[in-house]
Amino acid sequence: MVYIQLNERQEKIIDIVKTSQPITGEAIAKRLKLTRSTLRPDLSILTMSGILDARPKVGYFYTGKTALNFISERIEKIKVSKVKSVPVVVDENTSVYDAIVTLMVEDVGTLFVTSDGFLSGIISRKDFLKNAIGGIDLNRIPVGMIMTRMPNIIVTFSNDSILEAASNIIEHEIDCLPVVEEVRTEKGEKKFKVVGRISKTTITRIFVELGKDI
């Protein structure tokens, strides 16, 4: 991938095509009082970059794709499935104390909570801390009693773009999203199976990798 600063002539060509499309290469050359072959490199840069579209025997069109956002195109292509981490999951009957130990041992910021193997809740360091200083009996209270419960959970799917996932993290002010697969139970209920984890750490890691072109 290379990037090129458009020159004045190329900007002029874009203006001509914008106002007179479809227009042939010859007609553009005439307007600029140049030969067709002088313009060839300019036209090919403009078509290769996707700003102009060339249709045989018709001419050049303006695609509307001026300010190409390369970063966005690159980020859009990164799928959640490619970058997700292993989820850390506990059953909702686990005691708060045991859940905190799991959080510590696995060194994650968020636990996903399941009931019968399906996502039922989510709980973070912040929630645990609030409860730990709140004086509840951590050994007797199950994590299911203090977690954030479905359907108030923002989820992401393997096929989502990481930009969408990151966007949800910022918009909803959360640390972590469960990556889920939708399944139907025998009773026909829609449930989520947890298959991964996308956190701010995931995003920060991708940011560094993109920046260093790893």
Rounded Cα distance, 77 and 69, in Å: 13
Residue 148 gets which letter from DSSP? E
Provide the CA 59 distance to its chain's centre, in angstroms: 37
Instruction: Report if residue 128 touches its own copies, rule: CB under 8 A.
Output: yes
Instruction: Report if residue 35 touches its own copies, rule: CB under 8 A.
Output: no
Sign of CA pseudo-dihedral 195, 197, 202, 206: positive
The backbone torsions φ and ψ at residue 65, rounded to the nearest 5 degrees and listed phi first, read -90, 60
Instruction: Report if residue 51 touches its own copies, rule: CB under 8 A.
Output: yes
Instruction: Report if residue 212 touches its own copies, rule: CB under 8 A.
Output: yes
Among 26, 30, 44, 185, binds its own copies (CB under 8 A): 44
Residues 91-117: b if buried by 16+ CB within 10 A, e if exposed: bbebbbbbbbebbeeeebbbbbbbeee
Rounded Cα distance, 65 and 62, in Å: 8
Which DSSP string corresponds to 16-31? HHHHH-SB-HHHHHHH
3-state SS of 65-93 is CCCCCHHHHHHHCCEHHHHCECCCEEECC
Binding-site size, its own copies (CB under 8 A): 58
Among 3, 19, 152, 189, binds its own copies (CB under 8 A): 3
Provide the CA 177 distance to its chain's centre, in angstroms: 12
Instruction: Report if residue 71 touches its own copies, rule: CB under 8 A.
Output: yes
Give the range of 73-81, 111-119, 147-155, 184-192 binding its own copies by CB under 8 A: 73-81
Instruction: Report if residue 93 touches its own copies, rule: CB under 8 A.
Output: no
x-or-dash string of contact with its own copies, 146-165, rule CB under 8 A: -----------------x--
Instruction: Report if residue 125 touches its own copies, rule: CB under 8 A.
Output: yes
Give the range of 37-45, 113-121, 146-154, 179-187 binding its own copies by CB under 8 A: 37-45
Give the range of 2-10, 112-120, 148-156, 179-187 binding its own copies by CB under 8 A: 2-10
Which spans of this chain sit near its own copies (rule: CB under 8 A)?
1-7, 37, 40-41, 43-46, 48-51, 67-72, 74-76, 97, 100, 103-104, 109, 125-126, 128-130, 132-133, 138, 163, 166-167, 169-170, 199-201, 203-208, 210-213
